[in-house]
Every structure is written in C-alpha cells, then in structure tokens.
Structure 1
Amino acid sequence: MVAVVFPHLDSVLVERVEREGDALRVIARSRGELMPCPTCGIATGKVHGYYRRRLADSPAGGAPVVLELVLRRLVCSNLNCARQTFNEQVPGLAERYARRTPLLATLVGAAAVALAGRAGSALLAAAGVLLSRTAVLGALMALPSP
C-alpha cells in the first residue's frame, strides 16, 4: 500500500505512517548500504550515530505530508582522510540542506513560476501545501534563470 501512495520513497524503508491532526507523518530509515565518503570516495558502513531529518513532502489525498528520515552519521574508514565523519545522504530524496523533497520542490516551483506570491500560495494551499507568499517567492527566486 505504501509503495502505491508514496512510490518516490522506494530508496528508504518506510517503517510506519501516522496521522497527526490534518497531516500525515511518514517515518522512514535508510537501507543501511555502504556509502562513499564525500572527500576521499572510499565506501564505508561504520556507523558513528543516528540523526533525524524532517522534510516536507508532496501532499497525499489533500493532506500535508511530513517525511521523518532516520539517517546515519558514518565514520570514514580511510585514516588519512581529512573528514572523519559524514552524514548519510539519500540521493533523489533529500538534497543537502533542503527542507522539501525534490517532488514537492518541483510542485512549488511550478506554482511559483505560474502565479508567484499570494496566488501561488493560495493554489498550493488548495492542494495541501501550506506555504506563505514569501516562501513561494523565495522558491521562485531560487530557480535558475531560463
């Protein structure tokens, strides 16, 4: 059922989906595969610790969705590497420093290009994405110039 409603989450293991008021909270974790160090490129699976990351996701059934990822902080196995630990990234699902999944960012960007400010915010609210007009304008300004 989860694979039908959230097909873009196939790169993580979905543990559970909870209802929180009007929103849905999807709790997922990484698959535990070896990850390459961003500095030296040597793959490692040695875990230093875990951390939680919360991302806004595209709405499901008109309800806002919050994706809560439990990711690993890994230790580089190369003793000569300048970076000793690094955070696990989920390609295609969580960009660095992002607050939204790429799927939601595309939706917000399309609404921002078409309508901008208040109108874009109103359209997104009807779809289940609650953003202020300034957030919509910020998403518009972050898009590359055509």
Structure 2
Amino acid sequence: MTHIVENFDSKLDLVFERDVDIAPELIWAAWTKPEHLVHWFTPVPWKTLEAECDVRPGGLFRSVMAGPNGERHENIGTYLEVVAHRRLCWTDALGPGYRPTSNAFVTAVVSMEPLPGGGTRYIACARHKDEATVQAHIAMGFKDGWGKALDQLVAYMKTQSGSLS
C-alpha cells in the first residue's frame, strides 16, 4: 500500500489502490450516476440490474446485483460523506436517514486523487465489523473483484466522457 488510509486497521480493513488514466470527474460520475453504475459496478459474470444514488449524507445508495446462476443480491445503505470528485463514503450498517439495518457488512470509502499530468489515484477501503467479515470478503474475492470492477469502470467511462451532464 503506497498511500496511508486514515484510521486503517489491518485486522478489520481491506484496501485496494490503483492509478488509472481517467480523471477523478469521470470516476465520480461512474460512482454517483445510476445510469453509469449499472454498467460496471459488479465484476463479470455478475451484473448490476438496478442502482439508486441520492448522493448526500443520509441519502440512499442501493444496488441490485444478479449472479450467473440466478443469485440476486440487493444492497441498501446510506452515504456518510460526500466530497465531490474526491471522496465517497457509504455503509450498509445504516439505511437512508441513518436508520440502523440488521445486515451490516461493510463501510466503504472511495478516494479519487488527481495525479500530476492526468489520471487518478483510486483508493478503496472496505471497513468491517469483525475479522470473520473480513475473511468472508476476502473469500468473495475482494481484490480481484474490486480490480475487475475498476477495469470495467475505466473502460466504460472512456466511452462516456462526452456525457457527464
């Protein structure tokens, strides 16, 4: 890890970091506009069927994912922190309006740092409630899955750079 993530706990947090050749504004649009999110959010062969993004603290972050064998997973959470083009933080431990949920799995922080000469340092930190949840996320393929999803985000957004409005 070349970047320090604040309050990082090696027993409870997983970090994914990569420099990519698109601007933070494109990554931001990919994360905050449902019409973009559905194209890249889950690594193939999974698909994102639906997404809702009320991008404000306390606002809804929702996705519905489908697996290749008919699996279906709905994730409902809320945004905790929103810093345009730089940082998003959300959790499934709370729902919209900061209402507690019963299925807490992860609090995620995605940072987008502009690089000199263009591009973005993309840093995603997945924070977990306990070591068992960390191990479950690793078993699900955290690094590979988040890497594939980022590859899909970059490829998709390179085709969308003229449609960010």
Same fold at TM > 0.5: no
TM-score, structure 2 as length reference? 0.27
